[in-house]
Structures are given as C-alpha cells and as structure tokens.
Amino acid sequence: MVLEHYRCPLHRYTFSVRPIRQWLEAQCEGRVLNLFAGPTLLQVDEVRNDLDVDMPADYHLDAAAFLESWNGEPFGTILLDPPYALRKSMELYKGIICSPFRRIKDAIPGCLKPGGLVITFGYHSVVMGRSRFFRLEKVALFSHGGAIHDTIASVERLIK
C-alpha cells in the first residue's frame, strides 16, 4: 500500500483544487463514473452524475438510484466524493442529502469492471473494504493546514 502526502488549499468542491484534481486524474483507469460530480470537469472519459440540477452533469439522480438502475457498460473507475458529513451537506450543498452510503457501496460492484477502481474522498481511508472484495492500494492525504481536517483519498481495487 502506498501513502502520499500533499499540501493544498481546501475548497468545498474537492476537484477544483489543482493538486487534488491532478492526482485524481492520474489515478483513473478506463471510463470513469463521477457519482457526485460537482462543477469541475475532469480530463478523463467521464460520466457525470450530481443530484443538484444546477451542476453540469449527464444525470441528476440520487447516487444509489443511479447505480441500481445503471444498465450500461461497467466502469473502470468510480469516484466517490459525497459531502463528508450531514452538517457539510446542510451548510454547503443546499441541504441535499444522498441516500445511505452503505446502500451506495453495496451497489458499486455491479457497475464496476473486474479489477476496477473505487476512489473515495472523505475522512476515512477504507471505504469499500474486504467484505466487498476490495483491496486498498493507495492512500493520499491532502493537508489543508491549521485546524482543518485533512482530506483523505483512498484507492481500492475490486479483486473478485
């Protein structure tokens, strides 16, 4: 497992921060599902979903509903960058609340190619876990300075 550390500013739209965006784009493999897309367009083959209809996205569905209804080709990479806490959702994202995260995680393997990646941003380093047949390959810490929580990105590979 690889651990990387970066210093960068904090922004409510994680991928708008250049060091985070560049790191993320370098990790992605194949066609990418950006499940909580926000406003930042990535330089990857990206399918974009965001519940907020004001965001530039291909779909505006609840994340779990999107995954459970997807009948297209499986993705090489799925990106998860939901609001990290209920308070964050209420204060920064118009109070939009996504479906329970466990339901989202349980639906992901059905939309991912064998050997595909899930890249998750948040306050935790293991998200998908061994019980869903994922192996943690890389963790990146993005330090924002002072008393601000680090952003933790985990890269997990489907091994089944």
Average pLDDT over residues 23-28: 98
The string over 124-134, giving b where at least 16 C-beta atoms fall within 10 Å of a residue's C-beta and e elsewhere, is: ebebbeeebeb
Q: Convert the pLDDT of each residue in 69-91 to its tens digit.
A: 999 999 999 999 987 555 554 45
pLDDT at position 99: 56
Class of domain 2-158: alpha beta
7 token code pair: 């210093």
Distances (CA, A) of 25 to 28, 40, 156: 5, 12, 15
Distances (CA, A) of 145 to 13, 36, 78, 79: 17, 25, 28, 25
What's the sign of the alpha-carbon dihedral 9, 10, 16, 21? positive
26 token code pair: 């370098």
**Does the structure show a pLDDT above 90 at 126?**
no
Q: Convert the pLDDT of each residue in 40-62 to its tens digit.
A: 999 999 999 999 999 999 999 99
Average pLDDT over residues 18-43: 97
Report d(CA 31, CA 39) in Å as an integer.
19
* Residue spans per domain, the chain: 2-158
Helix (H) or strand (E) holding 120: strand 112-122
pLDDT at position 100: 76
Residue 101: band (very low, low, confident or very high) from pLDDT cuts 50, 70, 90? confident
The answer for residues whose C-beta is within 8 angstroms of residue 111's C-beta and 6 or more apart is: 33, 67, 70, 74, 75, 78
Across-strand partners of 48? Answer: 34
Average pLDDT over residues 137-159: 95
Average pLDDT over residues 96-117: 87
pLDDT at position 95: 59
Q: Considering only CA atoms, which of 14, 47, 15 is closest in space to residue 33? A: 47
Helix (H) or strand (E) holding 66: helix 63-69
Average pLDDT over residues 117-146: 93
Range from 67-76, 122-131, 148-157 carrying the lowest mean pLDDT: 122-131
57 token code pair: 């996205």
Average pLDDT, the chain: 91
